[in-house]
């Protein structure tokens, strides 16, 4: 899962960089409007890349992983109904 999210992030950020550099390197020579449009599209990609990189998939079980604190884990297990409270 992590590798797929990382590849998605780098692909989006690479696209962003390619759009921005090409817009102001050579596209502006033919059409300033197209260069501005490409720069605007490049501006929208970094938040999408951050969203894609930090997205949790259905197989990511981060919410019920043990914390390492024995007392806290027992307490959460009791609240979640995984373990009966001791009398």
Average pLDDT across the chain, whole number: 85
| Residue 4, H or E segment | helix 2-22
Q: Is the pLDDT of residue 41 over 70?
A: yes
Pick the residue with more confidence: 56 or 35? 35
| CA pair distance 54, 49, nearest whole angstrom | 9
CB 51 within 8 A of CB 13: no
Residue that wins the pLDDT comparison between 58 and 20: 20
Put simply, whether the predicted model's pTM sits higher than 0.85 gets the answer: no
| Torsion, Cα of 44, 46, 49, 50 (10° steps) | -120
Q: What residues does each domain of the chain span?
A: 2-57
- Out of 39-43, 70-74, 78-82, least confident range: 78-82
Answer for the pair 64, 21: CB distance below 8 angstroms, yes or no: no
Which residue is listed with tokens 């197989």? 59
Q: What Rg do the C-alpha atoms of the chain give, in angstroms?
A: 23
């Amino acid at each position: 899962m992590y590798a797929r999210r990382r590849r998605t992030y780098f692909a989006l950020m690479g696209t962003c960089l390619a759009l921005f550099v090409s817009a102001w390197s050579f596209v502006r020579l033919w059409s300033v409007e197209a260069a501005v449009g490409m720069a605007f599209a490049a501006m929208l990609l970094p938040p999408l890349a951050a969203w894609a990189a930090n997205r949790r998939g259905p197989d990511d079980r981060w919410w019920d992983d043990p914390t390492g604190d024995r007392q806290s884990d027992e307490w959460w297990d009791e609240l979640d109904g995984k373990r009966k409270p001791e009398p």
